[in-house]
Amino acid sequence: MQKLFNLLFILSLFVQCKKETKKAPPVVEEPKPTAAFTYTLPDSAKFLVYQFSSSSTNYKQLLWQFGDDSSSTEVAPLHSYRFPGAYHVILNTTNSQGYWATKEILLNVVDPNFDPTKVGENYIKTIGGTLSVSRDNGGGPTANEGSLRVIDEDDATKFFQSGFAGDLWIKFEFNSPVVAGAYTMTSGNDAWDRDPKSWSLQGSTDDIKWITLHTINRTQWGANERKKKILYFFDNNEEYKFYRLSIKANNGSRDFQLSDWTVNKKQP
């Protein structure tokens, strides 16, 4: 019995050794993937819609990123942008062994009919509504330098507010929602350091949740640029009933001034 046990033990060791010395088959390396693509504008009248087409090779999966928080796994996707602008378009490809390739371009989506020197109607005048501010002039909204002066379209008047502390807002509630795409601001008649320097334009449907549409964080008017109107454009296709200037800083004064503010249709 002991001899039989010893024989079985030796045989088991032999089988294990045979298993341990068996070589794995060699791994065949796949060709490396490439990433390449072309794009076209199928219809010049629809300048926001681009046709992309991959000419990549040796891949198993691909992923498009269009630069506007959207993506696709199609070989030839037709993509619609919401707004003009500069977009980083990226195509990534991978093979089954984890090798990858990428191609990136900067795509300028341009409205051929856009005129940066022109702006559409001032909705504050054509639609109408109600102005309010977080803190008014001491004489009230109808005073000589009260808040209502900021929407009278007269650069000889202004809204003046003392005790500025970086928490001023100017809000307009429209009689009906509008899709604004531009606004103007006009500097006051004196004291350059009272001019707004840092602000955001925001929109809201309910006066509770606010969406930032445009932001400025640098000086806009020089000391000699009094009563000067500046036109600002922003991308938006949503209707908002409320628009608000949230002003965080001026050029250093404890007082604030703004001659005029309009909220506009983007183009005539």
Give CATH superfamily name and number for 37-109: Immunoglobulins (2.60.40.10)
Per-residue pLDDT, 66: 98
Task: Please list the ranges in the chain whose pLDDT falls under 70.
Answer: 1-22
Locate all alpha helices (DSSP H) within the chain, ordered by sequence.
Answer: 2-20, 123-126
Residue with tokens 């506009």: 264
123-264 classified as CATH 1.10.8.10 = no
Per-residue pLDDT, 4: 46
Tell which residue, 202, 267, 208, has the closest CA to residue 238. Answer: 202
Length of the chain: 268
Equal CATH topology for 37-109 and 123-264: no
Q: Which residue type sits at 86?
A: A
The helix, strand and coil proportions of the chain, stated in percent and rounded to the nearest 5, come to 10, 40, 50
List the chain domain ranges: 37-109, 123-264
Per-residue pLDDT, 20: 54
Classify burial at 12, counting beta carbons within 10 Å of its beta carbon; exposed 0-12, middle 13-18, buried 19 or more. Answer: exposed
Per-residue pLDDT, 6: 52
Q: Which two tokens stand for residue 168?
A: 């001023």
Q: Which two tokens stand for residue 251?
A: 């050029």
- pTM, full prediction: 0.80
Terminal CA-CA length for the chain: 106
Per-residue pLDDT, 139: 96
Instruction: Report the alpha-carbon distance of residue 264 to residue 268 in Å, rounded.
Output: 9
Per-residue pLDDT, 2: 52
Per-residue pLDDT, 54: 98
